Structure 1
Amino acid sequence: MSAKDSTITGNQFAAADSPTTLRAAVGVFMSYRSPQILAALAGASLVLRVFLGPLSALDLLVAATPILIWPFLEWFLHRYLLHLRPVEVFGWTLDFDFARKHRIHHQQPWRPEHIFLPVYVHATLAPVLTLGAFWLLPQPGLAATWMAALAGMTLLYEWTHFIVHSRIKPRSAFAQKLFQNHRLHHFRNEHYWYSFTVPQVDAMFGTAPDATDVPRTPTCRTLEYGEAEAGTDRAA
């Protein structure tokens, strides 16, 4: 973690400590490793694309692919991977790290260090995806375009997830919907509202009911796996 991280971690961090302005939010956001890695990857991919020659219509098509797929991918990953329960396999409890950390995020939703993707996700997937893009796409420039778009969408996801856990007041109707849906997921019923960047995806998959039609579950903050840690901020 950066020096900034050390000043806002721990059970003392509460909703009242989260940023209230976009300027402050950007500063906190960019002090964490995952946004730094994604910004660097997106920037490096764009620079490489410019170096490799002029853009073509194919670049637009290639860039559109991760942009269009991402909102559905994040819904799927949130619904089926981040909410995975521990399972018993031959007497051993199998509990994936990403699912365990997501449970901690539900327990302590205002703490930024539980919001962002772990560094090992980037260290594992970035090389694989980069090599795959340069191998599968017919031109190196198209591979750089694809990586820039993918890194940009992942960075947008990280920003959106971070900002809805801040005290910033959303102004547009779209932003208000983002904030409302994600907070309903955390504080009303964890079985709905899985989207991060495009709330309409929940409507497409039937996970965006009227909030008054679903019960408030007692497991929103624990995801059914025990009580939240001592000292956890419980502000809604």
Structure 2
Amino acid sequence: MDFKSLVVAYFQHYTILAYLAATAVCVMVFALYPASLLQTAAAVAAGMLIYPLVWHLLHQYVLHGRWMWKSKWLSPTWKRIHYDHHQDPNHLEVLFGALHTTLPTIAIATLPIGWLIGGVGGAAAALATGLLTTCYYEFMHCIQHLAFKPKAKWIQHMKQRHVEHHYFHEDGNYGITNYMWDRILGTYYEKKDIPKRSPTVFNLGYDEEVAKTYPWVKELSGGIASGHPRRRALGKEGADAA
């Protein structure tokens, strides 16, 4: 997929359409229950500041936490929202977040602080900020997984850090598009800072030994794949025995 095809596909994807529709509802709610200009600006600013932190913490401690696979009920969600993505980072069908997990998260992260700042109107403004920020995240995330080099230096930097997260070491660079919190929380790195590739970068620690006790992700996946996804696709590295 080239850049033009990405833009067309992006605006046709049901998750993006849902986010934009929800943003339109926020605008209508704000029109009915407007906050002051100062309250609105504060709610938008709070949403823009808090959203990257919430995403960072969820990415680090939930998506990369080694606890969801221990539950028969949570393991399908973990498999869909992150394990499959790390197994094959360029598999576009699992690139976009699932609405049943993203929409509640965006609402929980933005509505309370928006309400405290400006009531209903502030909550609508903060939620709209979270929804549009998610659209931005999803678009940049797609760029990071397309096989082309962006012209803009800042996008190159962003993409390189995310590529390192997927192909070199998964324990860092959680921000995707914003690495401010990685720097603050000590999880930012560049490849030159890490001595060697993580052995769990593609399976997130879910291996055959873990599957003996917690088999649900393996059963849903039809086995546990090992090694670089491109080499697996070429048949140079197979999947571990199911």
Common fold: TM-score over 0.5: yes
Deviation at 1:163, TM superposition (A): 1.8
Aligned residue pairs total: 213
Deviation at 1:65, TM superposition (A): 0.7
Give the letter for the 2:87 counterpart. Answer: Q
Q: Which structure ranks higher in relative contact order (CA pairs < 8 Å, sequence separation ≥ 6)?
A: 1
* Residue of 58, 61, 72 corresponding to 2:42: 61
Greater shift in the superposed pair: 141-150 or 70-79: 141-150
Deviation at 1:199, TM superposition (A): 2.1
In structure 2, relative to structure 1, the CA distance for the partners of 1:93 and 1:46 (3 Å cut) is closer
Deviation at 1:183, TM superposition (A): 0.3
* 1:148-167 pair list within 5 angstroms: 148-167=128-147
In structure 2, relative to structure 1, the CA distance for the partners of 1:186 and 1:48 (3 Å cut) is same
Instruction: Report the aligned-residue RMSD.
Output: 3.1
In structure 2, relative to structure 1, the CA distance for the partners of 1:218 and 1:128 (3 Å cut) is closer
In structure 2, relative to structure 1, the CA distance for the partners of 1:119 and 1:233 (3 Å cut) is farther
**Corresponding position of 1:100:** 79
In structure 2, list runs of 5 or more residues that go unmatched.
208-223, 234-242
C-alpha distance in 2 between matches for 1:126 and 1:217:
31
Greater shift in the superposed pair: 35-44 or 132-141: 132-141
Give the letter for the 1:220 counterpart. Answer: V
Asked whether the equivalents of residues 87 and 203 of structure 2 are also in contact (C-alpha less than 8 Å), the reply is: yes
Normalising by structure 1, what TM-score? 0.76
C-alpha distance in 1 between matches for 2:10 and 2:184:
30
Deviation at 1:223, TM superposition (A): 1.4
Stretches (4+) displaced over 6 A: 126-131
In structure 2, relative to structure 1, the CA distance for the partners of 1:30 and 1:223 (3 Å cut) is same
Asked whether the equivalents of residues 52 and 181 of structure 2 are also in contact (C-alpha less than 8 Å), the reply is: yes
C-alpha distance in 2 between matches for 1:118 and 1:179:
22
Deviation at 1:93, TM superposition (A): 5.1
Listed one character per residue, the Cα deviations across residues 183-206 of structure 1 (whole Å, up to 9, x for unaligned) are: 001101111211112123222222
Give the letter for the 1:38 counterpart. Answer: Y
C-alpha distance in 1 between matches for 2:109 and 2:52:
18
Deviation at 1:25, TM superposition (A): 1.3
In structure 2, relative to structure 1, the CA distance for the partners of 1:137 and 1:58 (3 Å cut) is closer
Normalising by structure 2, what TM-score? 0.74
**Corresponding position of 1:78:** 59
C-alpha distance in 1 between matches for 2:106 and 2:193:
41
C-alpha distance in 2 between matches for 1:121 and 1:220:
23
In structure 2, relative to structure 1, the CA distance for the partners of 1:108 and 1:138 (3 Å cut) is same
In structure 1, list runs of 5 or more residues that go unmatched.
1-18
Listed one character per residue, the Cα deviations across residues 144-194 of structure 1 (whole Å, up to 9, x for unaligned) are: 212211211222222222221113422222211110000001101111211
Equivalent residue of 1:109, what SS?
Answer: coil
In structure 2, relative to structure 1, the CA distance for the partners of 1:83 and 1:125 (3 Å cut) is closer
**Corresponding position of 1:20:** 2
**Corresponding position of 2:93:** 113
